[in-house]
Amino acid sequence: MAANASPGTSVPLLPRHGVWVELHVRAWRSLRARQAIFSAPWGWRMRPNGQLPPLAAGGFFSTQRALLLMAVVGALLLCSVVAFDLHHEYQRELHDATTAADRLTRLLEEEARQTLRRVELSLQEASAELQGVDVNGAHGRELAVQRLAGHLPHDHLILGYTLIAKSGSYVLSTLVPNPETLPQALDRDYFALQLNGAARGLVLGRAVRGRLSGKWLVPVSMRLLDAHGAFAGILVALLDPQYLQSFYQSIDVGRDGFVTLFSQQGWVLARFPFVEAMAQRNWSDSPMFRKLLPKASADTVRQVVVADGVERIYSYRALSDYPVIVTLGFSLDQRLAPWRVRAAMEGGFLLLVLVLLAWCTRALVRQIRRAQQAESALYLSELSVQKASMPTLWIARDARIVRANQAACDLWGFSQAELLTKRITELDPDFPPERWPLHWAELRETRQMRFQTRQTNSAGKVFPVEVDLNFLEFQGEEINFAFVRDLRDSRPGELT
């Protein structure tokens, strides 16, 4: 909007317009910032005509709720991923432990089978050595002892042989010089089984401590028959359980793990680590004998072992050709120790991420709240200008009208869309376009101007006005805020 007077006639702004200038300056300075903040995802954009849309009812709160919901969903999703991964790793550790236990138990089964097969062959050969020897006489017993002693294996699997008559009395022994002085073997579990014919093949008895050597011995007996096929006594091979335990010791079962060889009657024959109290107790009332073995001769389970109350991956196999059961156990706590370390690390990392997510969400919500407050203040300023009774224009450097309130539209008689297509030089009959650059330079220098001039409305009528011009430069863009006061009410007539 141009001045008809010379630059020297410009006067300071009247105090009554200070509030309007401040509102426009604030609105212009917030214009670009609000476009960046409220473009996306908030959904508030500036209209093509430069006006702000009304605030969406509850828009900020919907955005805040959506953001919080996204944060919660993200946190739950992250927790679910970590939980799924840990659960998968937990199941994998259990599967690996179960597979390893089953594989090692099969190995132990074969080792026990080969060992007992050797003992069985040794007993058969020892029995053949006794054929034709009269063990009732002293000379015959001495000869039999010599033959049996010479037949002992060199690896000390069998420590000695004992011959027991059908009456239960000891006939000879490679370990005891005068076995006839020993109590009868009628109370021995293996003798009772052989006597009544309840067992076929080898019978393994309860492990006992040798009277002379003090070593633990496992009696393995074979039934002897006379020429008529009647029961004639038993030949007993005394196994050294340390032979088996040395092999068990080579198997890495970890802390609180074990390997045990049971007889079918529930006695511990060999074990690593060896616990004397366990060898003296019968375990036929344990869950393995009462519940597991009746269901399956071989299995791998997870259970608390009765002996010490430790939860383990427990595998057992009952041999089909010999009356023994091999068992192996891994401590579940030890097998899961690496998984627990990883779970603790991932849990700590997850907690850190959740704390960071909560902090970022809180910071973003606060930023949105501040932006919403700024938007509300900007909208209030814009609404005040738009609803103001004083006509207001925003004029660009090239004289284009870039914004106008409703009072300005009413004053000139144009719609807002029509008014925004005009240049101010088209509305001022006293200001030719070629004078605009000089006027803009003057306004840039003085920053503010007030003067009276004439304007032409949409009907072509000319009317007097007083204008207040305010120059502002923001982010390299120059703008002129013009406040227009209609002077027709203060003059006796309208200029034509």
CATH number for position 191: 3.30.450.20
Helix (H, G, I), strand (E, B) or coil at 170: strand
Percentages helix, strand, coil for the chain, rounded to the nearest 5? 45, 25, 30
**H or E stretch at 35:** helix 18-37
Domain identity same for 192 and 265: no
Helix (H, G, I), strand (E, B) or coil at 212: coil
383 CB-near residues (< 8 Å, 6+ apart): none
The distance of Cα 487 from the centroid of its chain, to the nearest Å, equals: 76
Domain identity same for 218 and 260: no
Domain identity same for 138 and 238: yes
Q: What is the pLDDT along the chain (496 residues), one digit of tens a residue?
A: 655 543 334 444 434 444 445 545 555 555 444 444 444 343 434 444 444 444 444 455 577 788 888 989 999 999 999 999 999 999 999 999 999 999 999 999 999 999 999 999 999 999 998 888 888 888 888 898 999 998 899 999 999 999 999 999 999 999 888 888 888 888 888 898 888 876 678 999 999 887 777 889 999 999 998 888 888 899 999 999 999 999 999 999 988 899 999 999 999 999 999 988 888 899 999 999 999 999 999 999 998 887 788 889 999 999 999 999 999 999 999 989 999 999 999 999 999 999 999 999 889 888 888 888 888 887 777 777 778 888 999 999 999 999 999 999 999 999 999 999 999 999 999 888 999 999 999 999 999 999 999 999 999 999 999 999 999 887 788 999 899 999 987 655 444 4
Domain identity same for 422 and 493: yes
pLDDT in the model for residue 135: 83
Which residue range(s) make up the domain with 308? 243-335
What CA–CA distance (Å, rounded) separates 457 from 480?
21
Query: Is 352 inside a domain boundary?
Result: no
pLDDT in the model for residue 9: 40
pLDDT in the model for residue 38: 40
pLDDT in the model for residue 2: 56
Boundary (domain end) residue, out of 224, 242, 260: 242
Contact 284, 72 (CB under 8 A): no
For the chain, how many residues are written?
496
**Number of domain units in the chain:** 3
Domain identity same for 227 and 264: no
Domain identity same for 225 and 237: yes
Judged on CB neighbours under 10 Å (0-12, 13-18, 19+), 296 is exposed
Query: Is 248 inside a domain boundary?
Result: yes
Domain identity same for 195 and 285: no
The two beta strands, 216-225 and 231-239, are antiparallel
Query: Is 31 inside a domain boundary?
Result: no
pLDDT in the model for residue 316: 95
| 342 closest CA partner among 137, 93, 149, 26 | 93
pLDDT in the model for residue 494: 44
pLDDT in the model for residue 1: 61
What CA–CA distance (Å, rounded) separates 222 from 234?
6
What CA–CA distance (Å, rounded) separates 373 from 68?
19
Boundary (domain end) residue, out of 242, 276, 306: 242
Boundary (domain end) residue, out of 335, 360, 375: 335
Query: Is 155 inside a domain boundary?
Result: yes
- Structure pTM? 0.65
Helix (H, G, I), strand (E, B) or coil at 57: coil
pLDDT in the model for residue 243: 92
Query: Is 381 inside a domain boundary?
Result: no
Domain identity same for 237 and 130: yes
Domain identity same for 130 and 211: yes
Query: Is 173 inside a domain boundary?
Result: yes
Domain identity same for 223 and 320: no
Domain identity same for 135 and 177: yes
| 275 closest CA partner among 252, 298, 297, 305 | 305
| 395 closest CA partner among 404, 387, 382 | 404
